[in-house]
Amino acid sequence: MTRSAAGTIGLPGRNVGAKSGLNRSILDAGWGVFLTILADKAESAGRELISVNPSGTSRTCARCGHRAKENRPTQAEFACTACGHTAHADVNAAINILRAGLALRAVVEAA
């Protein structure tokens, strides 16, 4: 999340000043403070924040659940070697993270 916002010569970043300022703020404050601020912002916006373990979410197929590093032919591409599902890697991972959060919320509600 704190990767350089400047981009490359061939693909320059957008809103570089604002992003580098955010990066600096996150690195200065540390992740614990960042997550506290994020939780406060979510609450004030009437949103729910659920922390999930992101392990494997970028390698796991959102359609069939097959998990393998070979599912990621490039940084941006997701192509499941089991079922053939293809998507942008970030979209596929976001679906897995959403499901993990909803599963955790269901556990909390059932308790």
Q: Do 52 and 100 form a contact (C-beta atoms < 8 A)?
A: yes
Angle, helix 16-29 to helix 31-44, in steps of 10 degrees: 110
Among 66, 67, 72, 99, binds Zn ion (CB under 5 A): 66
67 binds Zn ion (CB under 5 A): no
DSSP H/E element including 98: helix 89-110
Please pick, from the candidates 57, 59, 78, 80, the single residue that binds Zn ion as defined by CB under 5 A: 80
- Closer by beta carbon to Zn ion, 52 or else 82: 82
Q: How far is the CB of 22 from Zn ion (least distance, A)?
A: 34
Among 82, 95, 98, 104, binds Zn ion (CB under 5 A): 82
Angstrom distance (rounded) from CA 89 to CA 73 = 10
CA 40 to the chain's CA centroid: 19
Contact pick of 18, 64, 68, 103 for Zn ion (by CB under 5 A):
64
Binding site for Zn ion (CB under 5 A): 61, 63-64, 66, 80, 82-83, 85
